[in-house]
Amino acid sequence: MLDEAGIVDTRNLAALLTHAALSRTMLVLVGDPCQLPEIEAGGLFTQLARDPNTLHLTGNRRQREPWERDALARLRAGNIDPAIDAYAAHGRIHDSHDPEALRAELVRDYLHARAQAENHYGIAILATSRADVAHLNALVRAALIARGELGATPLHLHADDTGHLVAADDSLEMRTRDLVIIGRNDNRLGLYNGTRGIVTAVDVAADSLTLRTDDDRDVTVTAAWAARHGLSHAYAMTLHKA
């Protein structure tokens, strides 16, 4: 079974279908063409979803409140105004003409939810752009540092002329107890795009850090590895990454 098949680009999906056919394997595609689309060339899954023989799930077990199930169904169908009105009526929308005030509110809400949560991996700020993600991550980290919740010794990383990250005195910074996410696969280490972890140690002299991954493994990586595999903070993430 391939979950979230709607975000798989057509070239990769076609290759996967070909391999499945050659190996006489049943491949079940599960996804929603009304959610986030493919980043690269796409449209195959959407076309398959329109086939009259396609099976459709109609139940909703994620949203518990009837009003929210109705609002989500309206939003998915493109009936936006009544959906937004419903969310606003139930206090789910916070609007501001001041972007900094809105970001500050997001950070306060995140820190409050984080303090109540047993698992920090279940809490995240979602944003649409990488620039917003970077800004929000910086704000959250500043608050955590001020509270003494992150380690005192920073390991600084920056991009050199080749685009690789190396130890330096500015730019991307890692401390113990930082929540991070990996951006590229490393089959040798069993670390993959989207794997999250917590920094458990930094070694400035060795330009390395140790991660406790979300599947409870301890892995030590170098600054050069961090460069090649897009290690970044994970308090805020883009919608696609989440």
User: Averaged over 153-181, what is the pLDDT?
Assistant: 73
Domains with residue ranges and CATH for the chain: 5-49 (no CATH), 99-237 (2.30.30.30)
Neighbours of 197 (CB within 10 A): 26
CB-side neighbour CA atoms (13 Å) of 119: 8
57-72 pLDDT, tens digit each? 888 888 999 999 999 9
182-207 pLDDT, tens digit each? 999 999 999 999 999 999 999 999 98
Q: What six digits make up the tokens of 111?
A: 């820190």
Q: Is the model more confident about 57 or about 163?
A: 57
